[in-house]
Amino acid sequence: MNDTKQKILDAASSLFLEGGIAALSVRAIAARAEMSTIGIYSHFKGKQGILDALYTEATELVSSAMDVPFETMTPRAALVKAADNYVSLSETYEAHYRLFFGESDPGYRPSDQAQAAASQAFGKLLKLTAFVMLPGTSADECREAALGTWALMHGFFGLRHHAGAREMQVSDWRVLILKTVVGQMEGVLTARGGTGSPAG
C-alpha cells in the first residue's frame, strides 16, 4: 500500500477513535489527511472503499494473531499465545478492532476480498481450536468451541471499554482474559470427558 493510502486510513482510524462511526465522512477524513475529497475518491472511491480497506487490514491482523507455531508448542501454550496476540491486536489497533468487531457502519457490506480474508482468519482459529481439543472432536464441536472463545474475548473487550470499567476495579485485563479463555476451554474438555485441561 502506498503512503498516501496509508495516510488516509490512519486519518480514518484516528477520527473513529475520537467520534465513532458518525465521524467517518469523506470530508472529515480528507481534512484530517490534509488532502482534497477528490483525492479520497481517487484512492478509495469513497467511504465504502476506506471501510473495506480497514476491514481487510483488521482481518489480516487477526489472521496474523492466530499464527502460532503449533508444532513446537503444547496445546495450552498455543492457546495462550494466540489469545495474548489477540489482546495485543485489540490494544495496538483499537480503531480497527472496534470498527469491525464492535461499532460498524450499517450501510457497509464487505467486498468479496474482505470476506475471504475474514474467512481465512476464522479458519486459523478453527485450526488452533482443533489442535487444543481432544482427538476425535467433530468439526461442529470445534466450531462451537472456537465461536465460544471468540465471543468470550469480545465480551471482555467490550467491558474493558465500557464507561463503568473503572468501577470494576480490574487490576490487569490481559491476565483476566487469558485466565478465562483457558478456563473456558478446560470446561469444554471436561464436558467432553477429557482431562479438564488443555494438554501442557
Sign, CA dihedral 7-11-16-22, equals negative
Domains recognised in the chain with CATH numbers: 1-45 (1.10.10.60), 52-191 (1.10.357)
Q: Round to whole Å and give the CA distance between 40 and 196.
A: 53
| pLDDT, position 186 | 81
CB atoms within 10 A of CB 2: 7
| pLDDT, position 197 | 60
The residue among 168, 150, 36 whose CA lies nearest residue 97 is 150
Q: Are 141 and 192 in contact (CB under 8 A)?
A: yes
Q: Round to whole Å and give the CA distance between 63 and 20.
A: 25
| pLDDT, position 164 | 66
Q: Round to whole Å and give the CA distance between 49 and 114.
A: 11
For 12, 63, 104, 142, the CA distances from 121, given in Å and listed in that order, are 23, 4, 19, 15
Written as nine digits, the cell of 19 is 467520534
| pLDDT, position 163 | 62
Per-residue pLDDT of the chain (200 residues; tens, 9 = 90+): 678 999 999 999 999 888 888 888 999 999 999 999 998 999 998 888 898 888 888 888 888 888 898 878 888 888 889 889 988 888 888 888 887 777 677 777 888 888 888 888 889 889 988 888 888 889 999 999 889 888 888 888 777 766 666 666 667 778 888 888 888 888 777 665 555 566 55
Q: Mind listing the pLDDT tens digit for each residue in 57-81?
A: 888 888 888 889 887 888 888 888 9
User: Residue 136 is which amino acid?
Assistant: G
Q: In 3-state terms, the chain is what percent helix, strand and coil (to 5)?
A: 75, 0, 25
Q: Round to whole Å and give the CA distance between 118 and 98.
A: 15
- The angle formed by the CA atoms of residues 55, 9 and 82, to the nearest 5 degrees, is 45
| pLDDT, position 172 | 78
Q: Mind listing the pLDDT tens digit for each residue in 119-132?
A: 888 898 899 888 88
Q: Round to whole Å and give the CA distance between 187 and 194.
A: 9
CB atoms within 10 A of CB 33: 22
| pLDDT, position 131 | 87
| pLDDT, position 194 | 56
Q: What is the pTM of this model?
A: 0.78
